[in-house]
Structure 1
Amino acid sequence: MSAFRYRTTALAATTTAVLALALTACGGDSGAGTRAEGPASKSAHSAAKSAQGTAAKDDAPAGEDGGAKGGAAAKTPVTAKGGTTGSASTPLCTTEDVRISAATQDGPPYTHLVLTAKNTSGHRCEMKGFPQIQFLESHKQNIPSVARSRPEAPVVLDAGAPAYALVKLSDGGADEDVEPVTAFAVWLQGGDGQATVRAPGAEGVAVDPATYKTGYWTYELRNGADDF
């Protein structure tokens, strides 16, 4: 009996010591002691921090760019052809993106045309600079532009939106050396392709190579800037 009681007492002492160690390791003491973390507890602590970070990110309010407020946009601009445009978000319009038509302004005499370029592409694009126009086979150079008609900001067209450019044909004088034009070629700065534009009227328009000029593309024709 004494041997059995000795083994029972020893077993109880050992169990008490193990429980004390376990409580110490788990921070069972409510006092401000320093707790050492072993590999297992560090792993659990890291997992908890990761879960908290994920929850905070999911709860963050979204900004206009689709990311968290204060963060940089993660979107990469894409052109209509599938390529990136770097820092610019809008591709340049090409002659495949717009439909260009011509109408006389005022008159007679008809001294000016208004070119209208309507965006038919289904995506936004920028009308850069001024239309590059060749009226005559005998004059292969593009007609000159009028600097004061340049708009202050880039002309970016939404799908279906138009841009305008005023084009001077002549001074309307009887003594001018004019030539008839029934159709002419237009290129867009920075864009691909050539557009053939039909001149208005059954007989076309009269063009004087000594005086013709073109204005820049604008959202609307402006008095003063487009008077030339």
Structure 2
Amino acid sequence: MNTLRRRSALLAVVGTALTLSLTACQNDADSKSTSAAASSATVEAPDGKGTGTSDPTGSTDSAGSTGSTDAGGSAGTTGSTSGQVTTSVPVCAARDVIVTAATQDGPPYTHVVLTAKNTSGHSCRLTGFPHVQFLESHKQDVPVVAKSKPATPVVLTAGTPAYALVKLSDGGVDEDNEPVSAFSVMLEGDSTVIAVTAPGSGGIAVEPAKALTGYWTPELRNGADDF
């Protein structure tokens, strides 16, 4: 009876040990399988070229960087360049232009058109308006008409002209007109006096109290230059 009990106990111990051994082996096999799978995934991710999380992140960063550089950088450069181009063009001096005068419309001749042609061989900016003095007895400049001011700077390339309309009188017979055969013009920012010959064989008739001048413009414009 005791022998039978001992055998039963021994078999129970052996069975338990066998069960634990099998369980340990199975766990070890599962662990190795999981490790191998993880190792395999780590190796295959670079081969996927975009299947891993690092590739989409890098792609987004690259696109964002490109967009920022192209849009912001390009727009800023364009605006800056445009501003630099305008400001880098030198202001026209008296030596850069030839100023002439011609009558406008038919009699009575109440206006003349001044033409400033760029003869310098390079581009220059013609700023402001012509400072005109018709008579020795009137040493002040002819008043300027504000509405004739152009919206953008007047840049003259080599050989191109700009214009300014100048009013002489109202054309009335009762005006206190004075004959003028030549008069002086100065450019904005240059104190050099440019002598301009009045058009016509008999010169022009000027009423100093009615004289007006417009700004330099690339062309004469109806309305803005109507005074």
Query: TM-score, normalized by length of structure 2?
Result: 0.63
- Residues 173-206 of structure 1 show CA distances to partners (whole Å, capped at 9, x for unaligned) of 0000000000000000013522100000111000
Write the distance in 2 (CA, Å) between the matches of 1:114 and 1:89: 29
Write the distance in 1 (CA, Å) between the matches of 2:107 and 2:89: 40
| Aligned counterpart, 1:102 | 101
Q: Percent identity?
A: 64
* Amino acid aligned to 2:223: G
| Aligned counterpart, 2:4 | none
| Aligned counterpart, 1:198 | 197
Equivalent pair of 1:98/1:120 in contact (CA under 8 Å): yes
SS at match of 1:96: helix
How well do the aligned residues superpose, as a CA RMSD in angstroms? 2.3
| Aligned counterpart, 1:226 | 225
Write the distance in 2 (CA, Å) between the matches of 1:70 and 1:154: 22
Where is the helix percentage greater, Structure 1 or Structure 2? 2
Matched ranges for 1:2-13 at <5 A? none
Write the distance in 1 (CA, Å) between the matches of 2:76 and 2:208: 55
| Aligned counterpart, 2:162 | 163
Equivalent pair of 1:123/1:159 in contact (CA under 8 Å): yes
| Aligned counterpart, 2:68 | none
User: Closer, same or farther in 2 for the Cα pair 1:87/1:175, shift >3 Å?
Assistant: closer
SS at match of 2:202: coil
User: Closer, same or farther in 2 for the Cα pair 1:91/1:118, shift >3 Å?
Assistant: same
Write the distance in 1 (CA, Å) between the matches of 2:155 and 2:225: 19
Matched ranges for 1:41-190 at <5 A? 88-190=87-189
SS at match of 2:147: helix
Write the distance in 2 (CA, Å) between the matches of 1:111 and 1:207: 8
SS at match of 1:165: strand
Q: Structure 2, unaligned stretches of length 5 or more?
A: 1-73, 79-83
Question: What is the aligned length?
Answer: 151
Write the distance in 1 (CA, Å) between the matches of 2:90 and 2:189: 10
CA apart distance, 1:107: 1.9
Write the distance in 1 (CA, Å) between the matches of 2:126 and 2:86: 17
Equivalent pair of 1:134/1:142 in contact (CA under 8 Å): yes
SS at match of 1:139: coil
Write the distance in 2 (CA, Å) between the matches of 1:134 and 1:70: 46
Write the distance in 1 (CA, Å) between the matches of 2:211 and 2:185: 15
User: Closer, same or farther in 2 for the Cα pair 1:129/1:181, shift >3 Å?
Assistant: same
User: Closer, same or farther in 2 for the Cα pair 1:122/1:143, shift >3 Å?
Assistant: same
Q: Structure 1, unaligned stretches of length 5 or more?
A: 1-68, 74-84
User: Larger Cα Rg: Structure 1 or Structure 2?
Assistant: 2
Moved over 6 A (4+): 69-73
